[in-house]
Amino acid sequence: MTKVDKPEFLLAAEEEAKRRGTTWQQVLADDLEAARAAGYPGPECLLPAEIERYFADGFLADVRMEHTADCTACSSLLESAAPEPAEIQRILAEVRARRRSPATTGGRGQTRGSTSEHRTARWSALLGVIVVLFGYVARRLWRLLGRQPRPAPEAEPESVPERSLGRV
């Protein structure tokens, strides 16, 4: 397998193995043992569906926000799950380039439909890409930790106050 074909985690494990003077298999075994000993995720830890909802809606129930203040792992997970501004710009540039392709211009040098329709479609597509990417990362994280995800929680009661996205 060439360096280009290898997954990033394997490349990182090989680099760490060189630094430690051991094998990449031993590095991965050490990391797995450390993850198991950490006790994460605990029974109160955030579920992937809650994190997706947090970035889609911008809200998380107060009791769940309090947990992230006490749980370093959940707090770090929320921070790392936030979309990177550079990645958002890359996706927007790709969408803009696609919008101007001959297939969408109808040969007139402009796109079909109104500007507001295009703006809505771009943001919807961007949000969809972000949600799909986050779901992929969350599933990989669960598999890496060797744990099966818990089922999504039941709908929360309406009376639970929520906290804004800006108060992480």
Per-residue pLDDT of the chain (168 residues; tens, 9 = 90+): 666 788 998 999 999 999 999 999 999 999 888 878 877 778 888 888 888 888 888 788 888 889 988 888 888 888 887 777 888 888 888 888 886 655 555 555 555 556 667 677 777 777 777 877 787 777 777 777 765 556 666 665 555 555 555 544
Model pLDDT, residue 22: 95
Would you say residue 26 lies in a domain? no
User: How confident is the model at residue 168, as a pLDDT?
Assistant: 45
User: Is position 14 within any domain?
Assistant: no
Q: What is the pLDDT of residue 113?
A: 58
Q: Is 1 exposed, middle or buried (0-12, 13-18, 19+ CB in 10 A)?
A: exposed
How many domains does the chain fold into?
Answer: 1
pLDDT number for residue 163? 54
31: which residues sit within 8 A by CB, 6+ positions away?
13
Q: Look at residue 137 and tell me if it is in a domain.
A: yes
- Cα end-to-end span (Å), the chain: 42
pTM, entire model: 0.36
Name residues whose C-beta falls within 8 Å of residue 104's C-beta, 6 or more positions apart in sequence.
98, 111, 112
* Exposed/middle/buried for residue 110 (C-beta within 10 Å: 0-12, 13-18, 19+): exposed
Establish if 99 belongs to a structural domain.
yes
Domain assignment present for residue 27? The answer is no
Domain extent, residue 70, equals: 38-167
- Domain membership flag for residue 93: yes
Token pair for 83: 């979309």
pLDDT of residue 18: 95
CB neighbour class for 54 (10 Å; exposed up to 12, middle 13-18, buried from 19) = buried
Question: pLDDT value at position 128?
Answer: 78
Residue 11 covered by a domain: no
